[in-house]
Amino acid sequence: MGNIVVSPHDKEGQHHMMATPTSNNPNGGSAATAKNKSEITVLLLGAGESGKSTLFKQVQFFHGVGITHDQERIELIEIVRLNVLENAKNLVAATQHLNIPIEQPENRETAKLIINSLNTNDLEDPSWSKRLYSLWKDAGIQKAYENREKFQLYDSTEYLFENLDRICSDKYVPTVVDVIRTRTKTIGITDMKFDVGDGKQLRLVDVGGQRNERRKWIHFFNTVDAVVFLTSLSEFDLNLYEDNGYWRVKESLRVFNEVVNNALFYKVPFVLLFNKRDLFEKKIATKSFSKYFSGFNEAEEKNPVACIEYMTKLFLNEITEHPLDTVSVKTLSAIDHDNSKQVFEEVKQFIMTQQHRE
């Protein structure tokens, strides 16, 4: 793996915005000629909150782009703090919705401030670290957190609350891990390019995953050389952000079906990544997996390997058109730097091998 390629709009290897693709081959011919192409376009697809942007940020980080630099991360202070506030606000709202009282009077006061007036600037004051941490540890908030499948909450909640002493400081500079773990909804499409040897560049394209974002994906379908589809293992008990009455697994399967069986992708290598394995393993230790899948053997529900095998079958059963020998399945914990690096390297090798086979 080589250097980041700087596009005409880039400065010092920063990732750049994508221009409208110039290729206009309606038959997906790019895949057929991919062996001779100097640029391999890989699309990261998947429903909302499946971890596409987390993996994208990790790949940027491997290549020394963007968040590697302090100055880039300083610009993200507001976003990290906004994540803290949004999580706090969602937890407080959940206590009301679930009728769980916040136990300590001083925490109830903090909750009121969160709902009514607290903003990201306030979090420069270290006293907020103690107040928010005390709220986080309140038995009422912890009970709401245990029931987090009933409302929308970021995966990073626990991490952010456990790091409040750093975040609520006027000297705070987000670490790479803070940035990786901060949730920012992707709107639209972003890309980055890097050398992969043999005079070739890999162009990695990240997209938004919610329903209204998906119609934008088609702009890149004609030029794609490989698809990496992410789905979250830990979403088995969750509903959608954009449609709170709709089960995330069902949505993910539907989107996967539409993408993998799309005629434009018949000839392209396809990788299915089961992400958030770390969260999944924690979750099945306390929550029932079989409750959500009638065909799964209840006796095996604490065994992550058996659960993942079941999920894999569920997804692979959706494949009706795509040749199975060009599909690869892997698990991933995108928040884990080393794991992301290793899995992405395997994905890259798989794609390159498939390209050479053609």
Partner 1 sequence: MNGLSGNGHEEPSLYEKLLSERETFNAILDFSRRSYSSEPVLCFDTIQNYRKSRRMTFRMKIANNILETFLSKNSPLELNIPKIDSLHNELLFLIKEKNETKIDELLEELRVHCLLDMNEMMTRMNSEYPEMFRKAKQEIYFSTINSAFSI
Does the annotation place 208 within a ligand binding site? yes
Q: What is the DSSP-derived secondary structure letter of residue 289?
A: S
- Choose the catalytic residue: 183, 203, 214, 248: 183
Q: Is 54 labeled as catalytic in the residue annotation?
A: yes
Given the complex with partner 1, which of 33 and 244 has the nearer CB atom?
Answer: 244
8 A C-beta contact, residue 327 and residue 319: yes
131 is in an annotated binding site: no
Query: What is the layout of strands, in order, in the sheet containing 189-197?
Result: 189-197, 200-207, 39-45, 226-232, 270-275, 327-331
Can 206 be counted among the known catalytic residues?
yes
Q: Is 226 exposed, middle or buried (0-12, 13-18, 19+ CB in 10 A)?
A: buried
3-state secondary structure 212-230: HHHCCHHHHHHHCCEEEEE
- In the complex, the smallest distance separating the C-beta of residue 128 from partner 1, rounded to whole angstroms, is 13
Considering 206, 225, 235, 318, which one is annotated as catalytic? Answer: 206
Which residue of the set 49, 178, 213, 225 is catalytic? 49
DSSP state of 247: B
Three-state secondary structure call for residue 143:
helix
Which residue number, 166 or 219, has a Cβ lying nearer to partner 1?
Answer: 219
Q: Which is nearer to partner 1, 206 or 301 (CB)?
A: 206
Of 210, 242, 281, 336, the active-site residue reads 210
Interface with partner 1 (CB under 8 A): 9-11, 14-20, 53, 66, 72, 75-76, 78-79, 82, 85-86, 89, 115-122, 152, 184-190, 208, 210, 212-213, 216, 219, 241-244
Q: Is 210 part of the annotated catalytic residue set?
A: yes
Q: How far is the CB of 69 from partner 1 (least distance, A)?
A: 10
Distances in Å between the Cα of 333 and the Cα atoms of 271, 275, 330, 337 are 15, 6, 10, 8
Nearer to partner 1, 49 or 278 (CB): 49
Please tell me whether 51 is known to bind a ligand.
yes
Q: Tell me which residue of 288, 215, 279 sits closest to 49, measured CA to CA.
A: 279
Spatial separation of the C-alpha atoms in residues 113 and 102, rounded to whole Å = 14
Binding residues for Mg(2+): 53, 186
Residues catalogued as catalytic = 49, 54, 183, 206, 210
Q: Which residues are annotated as a binding site for GTP?
A: 49-54, 155-156, 206-210, 275-278, 334
